[in-house]
Structure 1
């Protein structure tokens, strides 16, 4: 089987090597990295949002429209309200995680390309820029706080990921 753009007459091993090289080159593209991070962040955020929403109904203080406690409604209505709320929260969390993942990965790829280095500073710089961009609407003080928090988080995650593995 041959793929478009692949030279003809290659052995299966040569085809596999060419396809591996093509995939590795695609993964070095900043747009691809950013898009994949956004999609993975969206999925993780959706699961996280669903989990957190499912935990919010363990108190009797949750009320439906009109102030009626959800626990006093029939089971079918309780489930309907719960699933609608869970879907809305999951969607919101998924969008936020996807946005942060795509933004951070794209900025980190750009910083790495600009600096022509792959070191811990890239995570800190990217985190600072990402945090500042996400908090920009809340003012300069919030942007500075977002910069500091995301820079620390980016640095910590990058340092943890670079630790030697115990094998």
Structure 2
């Protein structure tokens, strides 16, 4: 630091400023070996790049949608099998053969399985898209996705059913949103 006389202000040279900023700011490069990880919850392992890639693949919208479709198919098949075994027999009055019973059970089971798979796929894809667009992961994503999914499924029955299905679910989700935030 250079000082002229007692009455004058102290002035820092360029070299002094550089030394001072290096002292306070420090080195801008950070090395992986210098990372401090608290071990109060047990040993922590830093993930490798391969582990991060696999984790990103499992958390992608495509994988989540595919798994929802597969799991929905399995759940729908189980519920369809139960429903067909407990449901009333067909309209025919004469006695059915075992082959006809199993064929009817297969039809009902596959129908439930396909419907559950479609709903699972649609809901998961729409929810993941909404979550990605909003940048938040909260209960509203599922509510909005349910409204859109309900509207799209209602469109299969016609435009009026789709509009009323989406509007009804939008009103329902708005009421839930109001209730949750009024507390």
Q: Which has the higher helix share?
A: 1
Q: Which of 82, 85, 99 is the equivalent residue of 2:101?
A: 82
**Contact 1:62–1:69 (8 Å) recurs in 2:** no
Q: TM-score, normalised by structure 2?
A: 0.61
**Contact 1:131–1:148 (8 Å) recurs in 2:** no
Equivalent in the alignment of 2:37: none
**What is the RMSD computed on CA atoms of the aligned residues?**
2.9
Where do 5+ consecutive residues of structure 2 fail to align?
A: 1-44, 177-183
Higher mean alpha-carbon deviation, 41-50 vs 119-128, is at 119-128
**Contact 1:47–1:90 (8 Å) recurs in 2:** yes
Q: CA deviation at 1:82?
A: 1.1
Cα distance in 1, alignment partners of residues 51 and 101 from structure 2: 46
Is 1:27 paired with 2:52?
no
Query: Which structure would you say has the larger RCO, counting Cα contacts within 8 Å and 6 or more residues apart?
Result: 1
Q: CA deviation at 1:39?
A: 0.4
Q: Which of 36, 59, 83 is the equivalent residue of 2:67?
A: 36
Q: CA deviation at 1:20?
A: 4.7
Q: TM-score, normalised by structure 1?
A: 0.66
Kindly provide the CA deviation profile for residues 32-84 of structure 1, in whole angstroms up to 9, marking residues without a partner as x: 11000000000100110010000024xxx644xxx4422xx5xxx2x211110
Task: Name the larger-Rg structure.
Answer: 2
Correspondence 1:45-56 to 2 at 5 A: 45-56=76-87
Equivalent in the alignment of 2:22: none
